Amino acid sequence: MDSITDFSAPPMVEGIAHVVKIDGKSVWLEPEQGSSCGSCASASACGSKGIGTISSRLENRRFRIDNDANLSVGERVVFGIRENVLLKASITAYAIPLVALVLAGALAQWKFGSDLITMAATVTGLVIGLGISRMAAGHLHSKGDLAPLFLRRAKPGETCGS
Amino acid sequence: MKEYVLLMFTAALVNNVILGRFLGLCPTMGVTTRLDAAVGMGMATTFVMTIAAIAGWTVNTLLLTPFDLGYLRTITFILIIASTVQFTEMVVKKVSPELFKLLGIYLPLITTNCAVLGIALLLVADKMSFISSVLFALGSAMGFSLVLVIFAGLRERLAVMDVPRLFAGPPIAFIVVSLLALAFMGFSGMGAN
């Protein structure tokens, strides 16, 4: 066995990023490719990357943290997000619109019994759900729940899976 | 009402998309090493699968069937799924850039998930009504997520177990998933077929 999980540690999802820019008292970090894709032997031939290159996708996911640890450009760091935040984020982004969509569709089907009306109702439900989701995401953001935390400098050769 | 509940129950547990239909095995092995990744992937797949089912049913009913273009169904559905993933990515990014940064990594993986295409084709082949299609897709996706989460939980425990070197890694994971499939066989014969 290479590593032993420390169950006493706070439940935190860890990731690795490198510093790409220093902006006053904060730094911009770019996350490294996740283990699900990065360590796959077929990564170069796989269509999972979707439209756009990996680098453009990672650029989209850049985030900013306070530079309390005096980081410099090119340094690799370990950042963390609380586990329950990831669950809250998933529920906010996906579950709220889906529940609104299904409720609207079910109500329309029960009331009118027509496929076309049900279809229109599901689309309306989805739009309303996305609106609620946006408000919930704004609430989470204002509470600072979605912000990743700096944990430590990464050891040489350290990866998400190690 | 009872018919719809049975439809969802059957789709989620009896004919589970992973353990009953053997679709979506790539993410099952790929993203279940960590529970958080499994939850993120499961939720994203649930959303995309339901939206793709709605779009697929609509295009099939209003375009492919009336114009007798059934031979284009597979390629059309592949396009619909790819577009749905891109649409979801754009919407999540618009709704909250912070959420996109946390969850965006799982979305491109869904483009090549055969479970999404399989479910879209199945509901058309079964000539389901619109609401049945939505509930069938939602039930299937919930079953998919359930298996991902159970399997990820088991693999996190396996990581701290003393597994013989010969079985360490993927071999023991395959043995565990086959045992999970056997457990799900207990649902056989329940609900609607």
Cα(B185)–Cα(B172) distance, integer angstroms? 20
Between B22 and B102, name the one with better pLDDT: B22
Q: What is the mean pLDDT of residues B117-122?
A: 91
Is the whole-model pTM more than 0.90? no
Residue B34 contacts A, CB cutoff 8 Å? yes
For residue A58, the model assigns a pLDDT of 62
For residue B14, the Cα-to-chain-centroid distance in whole angstroms is: 14
What proportion of chain B, given as a percentage, has pLDDT over 70?
97
- A61 vs A130, higher pLDDT: A130
Is A41 a residue whose pLDDT tops 50? no
- A82 DSSP β-pair partners: A12
Q: Which residue has the tokens 């509930």?
A: B135
B111, A40: Cβ pair inside 8 Å? no
**Contact present, A35 and A160 (Cβ < 8 Å):** yes
**Residues of A whose CB is below 8 A from B82:** 50-51
Structure tokens given for A88: 């809250």
A36 phi/psi in degrees, rounded to 5: -65, -35
With beta carbons less than 8 A apart as the criterion, state whether A58 and B105 touch: no
Shortest CA gap B36–chain A (Å): 7
Confidence class for position A8, pLDDT limits 50, 70, 90: low
Q: What is the mean pLDDT of residues B94-119?
A: 78
Mean pLDDT of A96-119: 92
High-pLDDT (> 70) share of chain A, %: 72
pLDDT at A160 over 50: yes
Per-residue tokens: A145? 């729940």
pLDDT at position A106, please? 92
Predicted local confidence at residue A121, as pLDDT: 94
pLDDT of res. A9: 53
Whether residues A92 and B99 touch (CB distance < 8 A) is answered with yes
Q: A49: which chain B residues are within 8 Å (Cβ-Cβ)?
A: 108
Q: Which of B83, B89, B86 is nearest to B103 (CA)?
A: B89
pLDDT cut 90: percent of chain A above it: 20
Give the mean model confidence (pLDDT) for residues A74-83. Answer: 81
Contact at CB, A115 and B61, closer than 8 angstroms: yes
What is the average pLDDT score of chain B? 87
Is the ipTM of this structure higher than 0.95?
no
Which residue is listed with tokens 């032993």? A4
Residue of A75, A82, A92, A70 whose CA lies nearest to A138: A92
- Nearest chain A residue (CA) to B134: A102
pLDDT at B65 over 70: yes
Give the pLDDT score at B24.
Answer: 85
CB pairs under 8 A between A and B: 134
Q: Which of A26-35, A61-70, B10-19, B142-151 has the lowest mean pLDDT?
A: A26-35
> Would you call B92 helix, strand, or coil by DSSP?
helix
Q: What b-and-e string marks burial along A24-40, b requiring 16 or more CB atoms within 10 Å of the CB?
A: eeebbbbbbbbbbbeee
Mean pLDDT across A90-108? 91
Using the predicted structure, report yes or no on whether residue A161 has a pLDDT greater than 60.
no
List all residues of chain A from 13 to 72 with a beta carbon under 8 Å from chain B: 13, 31, 34-37, 40, 46-51, 57, 60-61, 63
The pLDDT confidence band at residue B2, using thresholds 50, 70 and 90, is confident
Give the pLDDT of residue A45: 46
Q: Between A77 and A11, name the one with better pLDDT.
A: A77
Q: What is the pLDDT of residue A49?
A: 46
Query: Which residues, including other chains, have CB under 8 Å from residue A58's CB and lie 6 or more apart?
Result: A30, A31, A32, A33
Domain ranges in chain A? Answer: 12-153
State how far the Cα of B81 lies from the Cα of B70, in Å rounded to an integer: 17
Percent of chain B with pLDDT over 90: 40
Average pLDDT rounded to a whole number, residues B66-80: 92
The pLDDT of A35-54, averaged and rounded, is: 47
Of A47, A86, A130, Cβ closest to residue B112: A47
Contact residues on chain B for A48, CB-CB shorter than 8 A: 108-109, 111-112
Question: How does DSSP assign B142-187, residue by residue?
Answer: HHHHHHHHHHHHHHHHHTTS---GGGTTHHHHHHHHHHHHHHHGGG
B86-90: average pLDDT: 87
- The pLDDT score that the predictor gives to residue A1 is 42
Alpha-carbon separation of residue A29 from A35, A61, A140, B100, B107 (angstroms): 18, 9, 21, 15, 21
Residues 59-88 of B with CB under 8 A from A: 61, 82, 85-86
Lowest mean pLDDT among A6-20, B44-58, B119-133: A6-20
Q: At residue A44, does pLDDT exceed 90?
A: no
B123-174: pLDDT as tens digits:
888 888 899 999 999 999 999 999 999 999 999 888 888 888 888 888 998 9
